[in-house]
């Protein structure tokens, strides 16, 4: 079976509607539902295509303990971009030697945590993206496994805000890396180069992605004498029903081609590709309002549950789970928050939503629950994992008491 077919993406229509309705009734809404069988399938497909590479899971896509544990048990090491992600990965049972910490302007507390971890687990790899980060690590006594993040000056991906390869915030400028490596070899155990050039890369983006990765590979060839070249992740999934999935075999062949002359292990860090289509957000309709401009459909999930449409203007497919056989009407779906940004779609044809209907929002397994907030004092949603025939709550719903818990525990006036 080709890797580029319906199995290469789980569309929102592929979810069992009766099961989703039952989960919404049993656990309430808004509710994140995560399909762990799908996560394993995605990892197996990816690791099969990239059999020549060291595959790590980019935990920032979804740091849920159950998600990390599922991928680690499947064979993925874990890449963390913050000390809190290191903490979460350890809590999920990941061994320190299977972690990589990619620091981005790391706060002092983050570096302290990573160096403390390294002192007990010298196999930990730390990636630095600025010369000053090297100094700050050395000041803490760190002389262990170090990689340097490269900024190739070329960014790819679905949105300007994720085209990290051309954002000066990320990595050492390309032309300065070579001069930084030799001094780094004297101070640390220099083990490799790292680059991440963007996110949401689909088949149409592979030529531009190839251009960026070829530039990084050429630098690795010139520098030489390293353990690995880490090319990050960025491999995307289709968010719109009509979009074809990424040809993962073509993506792997491209990476293999551009790194053919690199004498080092090639590493990749998929995140979104592994978890995005394994998540759905269930929300219940509470208000219908007919206006001269549009049919307003009010739901109990807001941008506090899923911020990507507000932050990136992202498209997420919406399915009427309850009334999928009704005639489609143009609807604007929005949540309960007092801001015009709190909308999931505007004037989109959806089978006519009615009060009490359950709607499902697709492709939320990446950067969904991780970006949830308590804005407007909204408790964060619960999360249920489905694993074959089993279901379990992996994140309980927050309560009003949770909203004030940290203040209640503070020593100041209450």
Radius of gyration of the chain (CA): 22
Residue 257: name the closest of 207, 299, 306, 328 by CA.
Answer: 207
Residues marked as catalytic: 338
Q: Which residue has the tokens 């010369």?
A: 131
254 CB burial (10 A radius; 0-12, 13-18, 19+): middle
Helix H or strand E encompassing 174: helix 174-187
| β-pairing verdict for 279-290 and 295-299 | antiparallel
Q: From CA 6, how far away is CA 14, in angstroms rounded? A: 10
Residue 56: name the closest of 369, 210, 273 by CA.
Answer: 273
* Other residues' Cβ atoms within 10 Å of the Cβ of residue 228: 20
Taking CA atoms, 389 is separated from 37, 44, 101, 392, in Å, by 10, 20, 35, 10
């Amino acid at each position: 079976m080709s890797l580029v077919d319906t199995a290469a993406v789980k569309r929102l229509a592929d979810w069992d509607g009766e099961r989703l309705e039952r989960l919404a009734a049993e656990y309430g809404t808004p509710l994140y539902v995560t399909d762990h069988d799908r996560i394993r399938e995605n990892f197996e497909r990816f690791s099969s295509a990239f059999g020549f590479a060291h595959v790590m899971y980019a935990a920032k896509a979804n740091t849920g303990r159950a998600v990390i544990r599922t991928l680690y048990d499947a064979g993925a090491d874990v890449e963390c971009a913050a000390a809190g992600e290191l903490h979460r990965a350890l809590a999920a049972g990941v061994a320190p030697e299977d972690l990589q910490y990619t620091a981005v302007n790391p706060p002092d507390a983050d570096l302290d945590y990573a160096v403390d971890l390294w002192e007990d687990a010298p196999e930990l790899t730390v990636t630095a993206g600025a010369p000053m980060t090297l100094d700050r690590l050395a000041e803490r006594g760190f002389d262990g496994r170090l990689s340097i993040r490269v900024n190739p000056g070329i960014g790819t991906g679905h949105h300007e805000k994720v085209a990290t390869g051309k954002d000066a915030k990320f990595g050492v400028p390309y032309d300065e890396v070579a001069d930084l490596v030799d001094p780094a070899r004297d101070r640390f155990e220099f083990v490799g180069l790292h680059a991440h050039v963007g996110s949401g890369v689909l088949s149409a983006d592979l030529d531009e992605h190839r251009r960026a990765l070829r530039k990084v590979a050429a630098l690795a060839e010139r520098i030489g004498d390293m353990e690995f070249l880490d090319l990050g992740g960025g491999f995307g999934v289709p968010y719109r029903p009509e979009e074809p999935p990424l040809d993962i075999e073509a993506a792997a062949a491209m990476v293999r081609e551009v790194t053919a002359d690199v004498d080092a292990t090639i590493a990749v860090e998929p995140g979104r590709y592994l978890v995005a289509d394994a998540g759905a957000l269930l929300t219940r309709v509470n208000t219908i309002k007919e206006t001269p401009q549009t049919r307003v459909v009010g739901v109990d999930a807001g941008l506090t549950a899923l911020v990507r449409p507000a932050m990136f203007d992202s498209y997420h497919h919406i399915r009427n789970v309850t009334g999928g056989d009704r005639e489609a009407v143009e609807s604007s779906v929005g949540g309960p928050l007092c801001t015009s940004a709190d909308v999931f779609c505007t004037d989109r044809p959806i089978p006519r939503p009615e009060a009490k209907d359950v709607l499902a929002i697709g492709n939320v397994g990446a950067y969904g629950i991780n970006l949830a907030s308590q804005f407007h004092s909204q408790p964060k949603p619960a999360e249920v994992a489905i694993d074959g025939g089993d279901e379990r709550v992996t994140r309980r719903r927050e309560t009003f008491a949770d909203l004030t818990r940290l203040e209640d525990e503070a020593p100041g006036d209450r």
